[in-house]
Amino acid sequence: MTGIAGTIFYVFQGYIEPSSAFSVRWLIIIMLATVIGGEGIEEGPIVGTIVVVVLYFLLARYAEISLIIQGVILVGIMLLAPQGITGTLRKTRVYRALLKSTTQR
């Protein structure tokens, strides 16, 4: 799937150059999508990709420092929610269900 997505992306680019295909920006985008969404969770990368695309459009006006802002967000997510957004939501749901079942007894 990743290869197909890359192929489609570069077909619509019109040209391929090594500096655009293998830049640090691509690595940051992939890491952001995986870490923000949640590793080891099926819907994690999908949620992460949505968040990364929204961040891309929000940070477009800060082109000079957008990589620094994305790096800070990446480190913040890794420290505050190591299981990502999806993992944190699942953990919260399980905790609420457990709390609810204990209070009903």
Taking only the tens place, the pLDDT of each residue in 10-34 is: 777 777 777 766 777 777 788 888 8
CA angle (11 as vertex; 6, 17 as ends), nearest 5: 75
Q: Return d(Cα 104, Cα 101) in angstroms, integer.
A: 5
Q: Residue 49 above 80 pLDDT? A: yes
Q: Residue 46 above 70 pLDDT? A: yes
pTM: 0.65
* Least confident range of 2-6, 27-31, 56-60, 84-88: 2-6
Q: Return d(Cα 15, Cα 11) in angstroms, integer.
A: 8
Q: What DSSP element (H or E) covers 56? A: helix 44-58
Q: What is the pLDDT of residue 21?
A: 65
Mean pLDDT of 67-81: 86
Cα 67 from chain centroid?
14
Q: Return d(Cα 7, Cα 15) in angstroms, integer.
A: 11
Q: How many domains does the chain have?
A: 1
45: domain range?
A: 2-104
Q: What is the pLDDT of residue 105?
A: 61
